[in-house]
Amino acid sequence: MLHTFNQGGSGRGQALILDSTYRILKGIQYNGTSSALDLHELKLVDNQPGKSQSALLTQYRPIPADLSAYGVPGLGWLHDSVFQEQRLSNGAITFEWKASDHIDLNETAVAFYDGHQSDSPWDYFHINSVQKLHGSGDYLISARHASAIYLIDGKDGRIVWRLGGRRSDFRMISATTNGQGEGEQISDWFYFPHHATLLRNESGILTISLFDNGQTPKRKPRPYSRGLLLSVNEPARTVSILETYHTASQPRAAELGGSMQILENGNVLIGWGNTGCMTEYSAAPESRPVFEACVVDKKATPALYRAKKTKGWIGRPDTRPAVVAFSRRNEMEGEQNVKTAIHMSWNGATEVASWRVYGGSTTTTTPNDGEISWTELATYPRNGFETSALIESTSSLPTPLVVKVEALAADGNVLGESEMARTFVPNTMAGCDEMWCNPLPQRTKEVSLSGNSASPGIGSHHREAWQDRLMFWQILGIALCALIMGLLAKRRMRRRKDFSWR
């Protein structure tokens, strides 16, 4: 996995190799002039027999450059796209390639921006995927801002060929013309691609998959994105589209990121980049959607760079399952059938099929597991990352007061047991339902110190929030006044100097 900090299109961090318990086996740093690697690529390479395993890594490296042709006087700055193959055993660099050594600035497909300072370099190339080809040892790379993919010689780094972009070595033909088609359709070409992968090489006829974004945040040659399966004829220097993957009734437009994976059964998994969604299509020629899901982060914004489907990974974390118990009660209203909500999860565990819940009561503030008489309450099938259930009781107090859960495999074996947890009971009912409480309670009546209810109004927390907002605007107003007065004073001083010079 890659552990990096996003810096607006690139990243800085390190690569981590984990075992099935999610312990870190090895950390990989970028060797050379900078130790920080980029977020776009981490791929392990099994080399020929007798050679150790290596890793492919990318880096975005600010370098000084002559950008006078783009209106930057003096020293300008580029974001150089670099990839490196590094031996895992000792970190030795076995190959390194820099875009600035081989790619002219006029190959870019994006407008010039920034480039005046080292912390805002012009990203003219933007490498986003690297694949080492078995047999030849060459490298297939994808460059979003060049709107092209490149084959790089694995010995000297020279460019073997370009596909797409301003200097493509291939022309697009129809798959049905057998190379005899007249001209090419501009709409057939891909734009700002990601995740180029060589699938087969049959005597110079290459089958390549890639994700065609079709657009960037500022340029939109195509209104939707798609997965492409290409046939590349190296001797004839032609390329044709074998298959396209997108849902015409629900097209998705990924301005950033994206991926395409051919599965063992012939199905195709498309990751729709910054839309946060992924779609699995059935094998050609049917190519219909059979699965779709979307992933968002805590801020409800899309969070997906690549999507990958695998059957081989089994996660068995060395942490314990987590459980939270909650009960909303209201003794003043005389509630008798109190319900306790149980929320269960185990981050990273892939074999959990169901959850067994135990409950017990205690009067001790810090009870030990052995001091509690546990009662098995129920077993619930796992339902996604977090499984939630409601347990009813006939008492005015939540029962059980203490809970714990067991994570069960499909055969019923216990995979792990949580620590015990006390049932949380809120001190106010406002904003709470049977499952949990909202972050902000609902508005309530203010209660005076004498115990008499005041007229309905905003609660203390709302009043404090209103006071905070008022203070913010007051401070902002003072700051703006000071700024305006300072500007006026400078203007008066300038006029005085002009007058004295005259």
- Whether residues 272 and 396 fall in one domain: no
Are 22 and 162 in the same domain?
A: yes
pLDDT at 489: 67
Pairing of strands 159-164, 171-172: unpaired
374 with 244, same domain: the answer is no
Pull the structure tokens for residue 379.
């077993």
User: 441 by DSSP, 3-state: which?
Assistant: coil
40 and 123 co-located in one domain: yes
What CATH number should be reported for the domain holding residue 379?
2.60.40
Q: Are residues 283 and 355 in the same domain?
A: no
Final residue belonging to a domain, choices 424, 458, 473 = 424
Q: Which of 294, 155, 182, 319 lies closest to 238 in space, CA to CA?
A: 182
Instruction: Count how many domains the chain has.
Output: 2
Query: Does any domain span residue 203?
Result: yes
Domain boundary among 250, 275, 294: 294
Q: Are residues 269 and 334 in the same domain?
A: no
Residue 337, pLDDT score = 65
- Domain assignment present for residue 433? The answer is no
How far is residue 442's CA from residue 431's CA, in Å, rounded to a whole number? 5
Integer Cα distance of 261 and 170 in angstroms: 24
Are 301 and 295 in contact, with CB atoms under 8 Å apart?
A: no
Choose one of 424, 453, 488: the last residue of a domain: 424
Other CB atoms within 10 Å distance of the CB of residue 93: 14
Q: Are residues 272 and 420 in the same domain?
A: no
287 and 240 within one domain:
yes
Contact by Cβ (8 Å): 175, 192: no
Q: Which residues contact 18 (CB under 8 A, 6 or more apart)?
A: 1, 24, 25
Q: What is the pLDDT of residue 10?
A: 59
Distance between CA 377 and CA 449 in Å, rounded? 44
Q: Based on the domain organization, do 262 and 140 belong to the same domain?
A: yes
In a domain, 463, yes or no: no
* Residue 388 and residue 348 share a domain: yes
62 is in which domain, residue-wise?
2-179+186-294
Segments of the chain with pLDDT less than 50: 176-183, 330-334, 441-466, 495-502
- Determine, yes or no, domain membership for 445: no
Indicate if 289 and 398 belong to the same structural domain: no
Three-state secondary structure call for residue 145: coil
Query: Is residue 101, in this structure, part of any structural domain at all?
Result: yes
Rg of the chain on CA atoms, in Å? 31
Q: Domain check: are 80 and 204 in the same one?
A: yes
Q: From CA 338, how far away is CA 393, in angstroms rounded?
A: 5
Q: Residue 41 belongs to a domain with what CATH number?
A: 2.130.10
**446 lies in some domain:** no
DSSP string, 453-492: BPPS---HHHHHHHHHHHHHHHHHHHHHHHHHHHHHHHHH
Strands 238-245 and 171-172: parallel
Is residue 492 domain-resident?
Answer: no
- Kindly report the length of the chain: 502
In a domain, 109, yes or no: yes
Q: What is the number of alpha carbons within 13 Å of residue 483 lying toward its C-beta? A: 6
Confidence at residue 262, expressed as pLDDT on a 0 to 100 scale: 97
The pLDDT, as a whole number, for residue 118 is: 86
